[in-house]
Amino acid sequence: MAAADVPETTFNRSSPQSPAHFSGPISGEGYQFTAAYAKDAMWARGLRDFFEYRELGIQAATGGQFKAHVLRVRTEETGERADASGLHTTGLHTHALGFQMIYILKGWIKFIYHVENDGNTRVEEHLFGPGDCCLQPPAILHNELECSEDLELLEVTSPAHYETQAATQK
């Protein structure tokens, strides 16, 4: 989509006392206030069996338009972190979603991306560490290669539920 095709988001405040109103593809209408506190964190299994996930309440608060969760290497029943050295790759895959962003909180993770630009595809390897951020465009072909045992990352997606499709071998 060309920049000219992207709907413009506007900010409208008719008076200093009136609440802000946004118009555009995501209005926020129907969203609910939510807060997630670290002291109440609950970790659960999710898409990848070697990770555990902490939902942050965004999915319920936005009616499923967004999801935000923290991923970390799974903790064993003993309380110890799983050994990430044997972490298998996810295999090349895509996600059918409109938005996916990761922000590394702790540790590191390595990905391969098939980046398309002007009809050409180049394969890029990226190693992300604390404070690094990556926007993964819709349907980008990628593979998680490995990560540190102390990895923690924030992932934000839209919509909250989406399909993951393994790449087919040619």
Question: What CATH number should be reported for the domain holding residue 79?
Answer: 2.60.120.10
| pTM, full prediction | 0.79
Question: What's the structural domain count of the chain?
Answer: 1
Do residues 46 and 52 make contact, with C-beta atoms less than 8 angstroms apart? Answer: yes
Domain presence at residue 6: no
Domain that holds residue 78: 31-166
Domain presence at residue 8: no
Per-residue pLDDT of the chain (170 residues; tens, 9 = 90+): 455 554 554 444 444 444 455 455 677 889 999 999 999 999 998 887 788 999 999 999 999 999 999 999 987 666 666 666 556 567 899 999 999 999 999 999 999 999 999 999 999 999 999 999 999 999 999 999 999 999 999 999 999 999 889 887 55
- Cα distance between residue 140 and residue 157, in whole Å: 14
Domain presence at residue 111: yes
Domain presence at residue 18: no
Strands (E), the chain: 10-12, 21-23, 44-45, 51-55, 67-73, 93-96, 99-106, 109-117, 120-128, 133-135, 141-147, 152-158, 163-166
Domain presence at residue 26: no
